[in-house]
Amino acid sequence: MDNKTLISTEYSDCNCGKTASFYYKRKKKGNNFNIYKGRMYSCCKDIQTAVVKVTANGKGSKEDLPDYIIASQAAHDLANKFSKLCSIFVHFPEIHIAEMDTVAIFDTFIPGDCRKLSGDEFVLFEPYVKDLQNFVTREGIVTKVCPAVIQELCHFSFHQSNGDNILRGLKGSWEKNGKSFRLASPATKYFPEKCSADEIPCAITNFFSVHTCTSRCNKWLVPSQVHSSRSEHQFDNSFSDPPPPYESIDFATR
């Protein structure tokens, strides 16, 4: 009944590889990934509910997916750095790449436009985030339910990149303790060379058109400073060293 993977070959924010299993019926169809709900298994943790992402357009290869691992680790490093500035902890989950081991027999009979799995393709999986809400779209639009601390995180990413990029496409939920946020893993277009010429500038404009700086972020770099000559402006560099390898930020939906 279940699809199963081998142990993960690449992963972020994790000390060991994991395997995943997932039901043959998908939960959601996306532009880039079909989403399945399953379980993660590890030698060092209890079984966790997981989200498994299978490429929607053609068989997933090991070469297609490492950008997601790089993006997740960069987001994790950035969030850790940001969390040191405030009392609320923001966390991106680990994400894994693994090759399929077993394809459920029922998968071969799936009707409709859902792509059938192959035994030698690679998939992504990560811990499941319950009660997921959309905070900032991939276009940089801030939703009505977006908390101030998530806006601060986006502003922090803009400051850290010296105005070249901004964190976006953020979905997540409060933890039960009410003192931390768990966000879904970042997705595509982390790198400027993979974005259209106006994609990042438009996202920055959209975000700052509604963002009101707080006492925490009012000294960080803002777009008006970037539009002028950088050499002519001095701003607070207290947190300006970029996290590795923070070349760009886009946490769009897979």
Structural domain contains residue 177: no
Structural domain contains residue 8: yes
Structural domain contains residue 16: yes
Structural domain contains residue 39: yes
Structural domain contains residue 224: no
Q: How far is CA 132 from CA 92, 123, 145, 171, 224, in A?
A: 13, 21, 11, 6, 33
For the chain (254 residues), the mean pLDDT of every run of 10, in chain order, is 91 90 87 91 83 90 87 87 87 92 71 73 93 90 93 94 89 79 69 78 94 94 75 42 38 38
- The residue segments making up the domain with residue 6 are 2-66+93-127
Structural domain count, the chain: 1
CA torsion angle 143 145 148 151 (round to 10): -30
Structural domain contains residue 81: no
3-state secondary structure of 174: strand
pLDDT of residue 230: 44
Structural domain contains residue 45: yes
Structural domain contains residue 88: no
pLDDT of residue 100: 95
Q: Tell me the residue type at 35.
A: I
For residues 92 and 79, the answer to whether their CB atoms sit within 8 Å is yes
Burial (0-12, 13-18, 19+ Cβ within 10 Å), 131:
exposed
For residues 49 and 128, the answer to whether their CB atoms sit within 8 Å is yes
| DSSP at 135 | E
The candidate with the shortest Cα–Cα distance to 99, out of 62, 55, 49, 48, is 62
pLDDT of residue 221: 95
